A and B are shown apart, each in its own frame.
Chain A
Amino acid sequence: MARVLVALAAGLIFGLGLTVSQMINPAKVLGFLDLFGDWDPSLALVMAGAIPVAALGYRLARGSRAPLFADAYAAPTQSAIDRRLVAGAILFGVGWGLVGYCPGPALASLAVGPWQTALFVAAMLLGMAGFRAVQSVGTRRLKQA
C-alpha cells in the first residue's frame, strides 16, 4: 500500500512539474523543436532543472540496499546501443515533432486538454499495443526457429 501511495505522490509531483513548466502544452514543445522559427529554449531548462535533481536522488539512494517500499531497485539491465534503440528513438522523435506530444505531457493533459489530446493518447496506446503484437509474433518465430 505504501508503494502505491508513493507512486501516486510521484505522479502528482511529476504532473505538477509538467504543468508549471507548461510542457503539457504541445505548442510550447513545438516552439523548442522549431530551431528555425521563433525558438523557445524553455524545454532545455526543464531538463536542466530535472536532470541534476534526479541525479542527486539516484546518488543518495546508492547508500541504501533497497527502496523504502519495495524489495530491490529495478535498474535498467540493457546496455547495448542496438538497432531497436536507434529505430525506436527515430520513430519517436518524428512522431514527437508532428504534434509536440510525448507520453508524459499527453497523459497529463488528458483531463484539461482539447479532444485532440484524447485522440493522441488513444493512437499512442494503439501504437504501444501494436509494438506488443509485433514483439510477440517475433518471439514466437524465434522459438520455432
Chain B
Amino acid sequence: MDHFTPLSALIGGVLIGLAAATLWRGTGRIAGISGIVGSLLSPAPGDGGWRIAFLAGLIAAPPLYRAAGGAMPEIAVSGSVALVIAGGLLVGFGTRLGGGCTSGHGVCGLARLAPRSIAATLLFMACGFASVFVVRHVVGA
C-alpha cells in the first residue's frame, strides 16, 4: 500500500461533499455527473445553463489549481485505443441506463440512503473489481 494517500483523499472527499451540498441548497439538483452531462444531449427549455456552468467549473478547476501553485497529480491513462473506447462506451451507456455513476449514486445517493443507489453502488463496485481482476490478473498475467 505504498500509494495510499489518506489525508488528501479525505480532504478531497470533503470538498466533493461540499460541492454536492452547495448544488442542492442553491439549485435543488443532485450532483450526479452522468445525469448533468447526459441530459445536456436533449435539455428541457431553460435547464441547460446551470448544467453547462457546473461542467465548465469541473473542467476549469484542475488547471486553475495548477496555476495557483497546487501540486497536480499525474494523469496516467493505460491501455490500448480499443480499450479506452470500449471503456468510454460502457461508462456512457451504463451510467445512463442505470441512472447514475460514482457521484450520483455513490456519493449523493448513499448520502440520501436511497436503496436504489446503495444497490447500484454495490453492483458497479463489484463489477469494477471484477473487471480489473480480469484485465490485470487473468488477461494480463
A residues sitting closer than 8 Å to B (CB atoms) are: 2-28, 30-31, 33-43, 45-58, 60-61, 64, 66-76, 78-81, 84-104, 106-114, 116-117, 119-132
| B92 in contact with A45 (CB, 8 Å) | no
With a CB–CB cut-off of 8 A, which chain A residues contact B73?
19, 22, 24-25, 28
Which residue from chain B places its CB closest to the CB of A37 in the assembled complex? B136
With a CB–CB cut-off of 8 A, which chain B residues contact A18?
12, 16, 58, 61-62
A12 → B minimal CB distance (Å): 4
Most chain A CB neighbours (cut-off 10 Å) among B56, B75, B120: B75
| B24 in contact with A19 (CB, 8 Å) | no
Which residue from chain B places its CB closest to the CB of A95 in the assembled complex? B90
Which residue from chain A places its CB closest to the CB of B73 in the assembled complex? A22
A15–B137 CA distance with the chains assembled, in angstroms: 32
With a CB–CB cut-off of 8 A, which chain B residues contact A95?
86-91, 94, 131
Indicate which residue in B16, B102, B132 contacts A102 across the interface (CB closer than 8 Å): B102
Which residue from chain B places its CB closest to the CB of A53 in the assembled complex? B17
**6 shortest A-B CB distances, which residue pairs?**
A88-B98, A57-B21, A49-B13, A21-B12, A127-B92, A11-B57
| B120 in contact with A101 (CB, 8 Å) | no
Dominant SS at the A interface?
helix
A-B contact count (CB 8 A): 508
| A103 in contact with B101 (CB, 8 Å) | yes
A117–B21 CA distance with the chains assembled, in angstroms: 28
Indicate which residue in B34, B38, B62 contacts A19 across the interface (CB closer than 8 Å): B62
B14 → A minimal CB distance (Å): 4
| B23 in contact with A70 (CB, 8 Å) | no
| B127 in contact with A123 (CB, 8 Å) | no
With a CB–CB cut-off of 8 A, which chain A residues contact B30?
74-76
Indicate which residue in B16, B78, B111 contacts A55 across the interface (CB closer than 8 Å): B111
With a CB–CB cut-off of 8 A, which chain A residues contact B33?
102-104, 107
| B26 in contact with A81 (CB, 8 Å) | no
| B85 in contact with A131 (CB, 8 Å) | no
With a CB–CB cut-off of 8 A, which chain A residues contact B85?
119-120, 123
Digitize B90-123: 1 where CB-to-A-CB distance is under 8 Å, 0 elsewhere. Answer: 1111111111011101111111111110011101
| B111 in contact with A33 (CB, 8 Å) | no
A79–B38 CA distance with the chains assembled, in angstroms: 20
